[in-house]
Amino acid sequence: MTVRVGVLALQGDTREHLAALTEAGAQACTVRRLAELDSVDALVIPGGESTVMSHLLREFELLEPLRARLADGMPAYGSCAGMILLATEILDAGVPGREALALRGIDMTVRRNAFGRQVDSFEESIPFAGLDSDVHAVFIRAPWVERVGESVEVLATAAGHPVAVRQGKVLATSFHPEVTGDRRVHRMFVDSLR
C-alpha cells in the first residue's frame, strides 16, 4: 500500500524531505494550500525558521485546518522547526503571542535554539530506539525537549535532553535526517503509516 505524504512547503528544506520520503516508499508531494493538505494521508513539517513558518501558516490559512487534522489523528513528522511547531508549549518563542501558534501534535515543551546559535551547529552519532545502529544527527540551531507528557516515547537524547520523540503516529526530531542520506527515520515514519 502506497501512502501519500505531504511536505509542508512554505519555507525550509522541502526538497530534501521529498527525496527522503520517496526513497522510503511514500508518494511524496508538496503542501501549500488547504486542498493539498486535505489530499494527504500524513504530513512532514520540515526544518527551517519556525517564526517564518508560523507566520506563513497563518497567511496561507493552514494553521487551524492543520491543527484540526492533527487533533483528528493525522500522522505527522517534524524535524527541527517542525518539532518546535508540533509542540504544545514553546519556550523562547521570541515573538509575543507565538505560543498560540503551537500545533499541539505532541504533548511536549520544546526550547527553541537550545543548542545555541548557527555557529554552534554540530553533528553527532546518537542511539535511536528501534533502529539497528546509531543515527548520524545534524543539529542546526536545534531545539531540544524539556518536558514530555506521559504518552510520549523518547527515542533519542543528546546533551541529556530528548531530541527524538513519538506520540502515537506523530514523530519529531530536533535534528535533520533528511540531509544525511540515511533514510531510516523517514522509513520508520512511512512504515508506521501502513
Taking residues 159-180, report their average pLDDT: 97
- Do residues 131 and 184 lie in contact, with contact meaning Cβ atoms separated by under 8 Å? yes
Rounded to the nearest integer, the mean pLDDT of the chain is: 93
pLDDT score for 97: 58
Flag whether pLDDT at 129 surpasses 90.
yes
* Domain at 177, CATH number: 3.40.50.880
**Is this structure's pTM higher than 0.75?**
yes
Taking residues 31-42, report their average pLDDT: 98
Flag whether pLDDT at 12 surpasses 80.
yes
pLDDT score for 167: 98
Q: How many CB atoms lie within 10 A of CB 160?
A: 6
Show the beta-strand stretches assigned E in the chain: 4-8, 27-31, 42-45, 76-79, 89-91, 108-111, 122-126, 135-139, 144-148, 153-158, 161-167, 170-173
184 is in an annotated binding site: no
Q: What is the pLDDT of residues 140-162, one digit of tens each?
A: 999 999 999 999 999 999 999 99
Flag whether pLDDT at 120 surpasses 90.
no
Who has greater pLDDT, 73 or 121?
Answer: 73
pLDDT score for 50: 87
Q: Helices 14-23 and 184-192 sit at what angle, rounded to 10 degrees?
A: 70
84 is in an annotated binding site: no
Question: Total structural domains in the chain?
Answer: 1
The catalytic residue positions are: 80, 176, 178
140 is in an annotated binding site: yes
Taking residues 111-124, report their average pLDDT: 84
pLDDT score for 94: 61
Question: Domain containing 134: what range?
Answer: 4-192
Taking residues 54-68, report their average pLDDT: 94
48 is in an annotated binding site: yes
Flag whether pLDDT at 15 surpasses 80.
yes
Flag whether pLDDT at 44 surpasses 70.
yes
